[in-house]
Amino acid sequence: MDKKTQHYSTQFPDVRVKVYSVSESLKRHLYLFKTVTGVFSFKQLDLGTKVFIEHMKIPEKQGVLLDLGCGYGAIGIVLAHLASQSTVYLTDINKRALWCARENIKYNLTERSGKVIVLPGSYFEPFKNKNVKFDGIYMNPPLRNGRREFLTLCEDIPRYLKSKGLFQFVIKKKMGAEYVHNYLNKHHSELFEIIEVIFKRSGYWIFCLMSF
Ligand SMILES: C[S@@+](CC[C@H](N)C(=O)[O-])C[C@H]1O[C@@H](n2cnc3c(N)ncnc32)[C@H](O)[C@@H]1O
């Protein structure tokens, strides 16, 4: 991929490394994230991610949660902070993003009892030979890879969710939130018991899908 067409969904971004700090108050707690060029939204927390974090549902019971395509780790780190007994996985394909996520876990999560695990790989590849199922999967999807890729991923999700597990994600209206909602209702209603848009703000739609 040449530099012009390359974006953050690359395994090894080929742009000069520059380190940034992003501070953000999320669910009434202040976080400081280290970010680098070549990682999604490295100069400031993406508005979609922020709206999503403020409105995502976090299971009260101890469980296993996944931040799928974690970037520098904001969603997974907030989950790990608030669900401090749960095991939280963060995965991404981008090696720089994973480096940031590991640094940000060390810095932001000093006191917690549950495990926080960072794994490299494409989507569910890191869990291929592991018998892991999740109570919650959380995602700000890489729609620049194409909407089709995301809709295909949605077909795989139920295999990785426990019964009554939640798949939550955010999509910008301009990036086709309404299309995705209609598509899921039309083609995936047999895969999920509930398909809901739980919140809309600033042009972002927050989806919550529950497995059977
Ligand atoms: C829209 S960004 C969201 C990042 C982060 N969750 C956030 O909200 O700031 C999508 C993320 O998905 C990652 N990604 C793209 N393709 C992927 C794949 N095939 N498997 C895993 N992660 C992928 C990108 O590297 C990027 O970090």
When pLDDT is cut at 50, 70 and 90, the band that residue 6 belongs to is: low
Q: Tell me which residue range forms the domain holding 167.
A: 46-211
Residue nearest to atom 10 of ligand 1 (CA): 142
Atom of ligand 1 nearest to the CA of 149: 19
Please give the distance, rounded to the nearest whole angstrom, from the Cα atom of residue 94 to the centre of ligand 1: 8
Task: Check: CB of residue 198 under 8 Å from CB of residue 208.
Answer: yes
Q: Is 78 in the pocket of ligand 1 (CB under 6 A)?
A: no
Q: Which residue has the higher pLDDT, 25 or 7?
A: 25
Instruction: Give a yes or no: residue 12 inside a domain.
Output: no
Instruction: Give a yes or no: residue 27 inside a domain.
Output: no
Q: Is 46 in the pocket of ligand 1 (CB under 6 A)?
A: yes
Q: Residue 138 to residues 1, 71, 74, 115, 181: CA-CA distances in angstroms?
A: 28, 12, 11, 17, 17
CATH number (domain holding residue 145): 3.40.50.150
Instruction: Give a yes or no: residue 25 inside a domain.
Output: no
Please give the distance, rounded to the nearest whole angstrom, from the Cα atom of residue 72 to the centre of ligand 1: 9
Instruction: Give a yes or no: residue 171 inside a domain.
Output: yes
Q: Is 97 in the pocket of ligand 1 (CB under 6 A)?
A: yes
Residue nearest to atom 9 of ligand 1 (CA): 71
Q: Give the residue among 178, 171, 167, 173 at the shortest CA–CA distance from 208.
A: 167
Q: What is the mean pLDDT of residues 74-101?
A: 97
Please give the distance, rounded to the nearest whole angstrom, from the Cα atom of residue 74 to the centre of ligand 1: 12
CA 34 to chain centre: 17
- Total domains, the chain: 1
Q: Give the residue among 5, 22, 15 at the shortest CA–CA distance from 38.
A: 15
The per-residue pLDDT for 4 is: 44
Q: Is 41 in the pocket of ligand 1 (CB under 6 A)?
A: yes
Instruction: Give a yes or no: residue 131 inside a domain.
Output: yes
How many Å apart are CA 190 and CA 211, to the nearest integer?
10
* Predicted confidence (pLDDT) per residue in 120-171, tens digit: 999 999 999 899 999 999 999 999 899 999 999 999 999 999 999 999 999 9
Q: What is the mean pLDDT of residues 180-204?
A: 97
Instruction: Give a yes or no: residue 149 inside a domain.
Output: yes
Instruction: Give a yes or no: residue 20 inside a domain.
Output: no
Residue nearest to atom 27 of ligand 1 (CA): 71
pTM: 0.95
Please give the distance, rounded to the nearest whole angstrom, from the Cα atom of residue 171 to the centre of ligand 1: 13
Instruction: Give a yes or no: residue 26 inside a domain.
Output: no
State which of 6, 9, 125 you would mutate to test the pocket of ligand 1, scoring each by most atoms of that ligand within 8 A of its C-beta. Answer: 9
Please give the distance, rounded to the nearest whole angstrom, from the Cα atom of residue 69 to the centre of ligand 1: 3
Q: Which residue has the higher pLDDT, 99 or 2?
A: 99
Residue nearest to atom 25 of ligand 1 (CA): 9
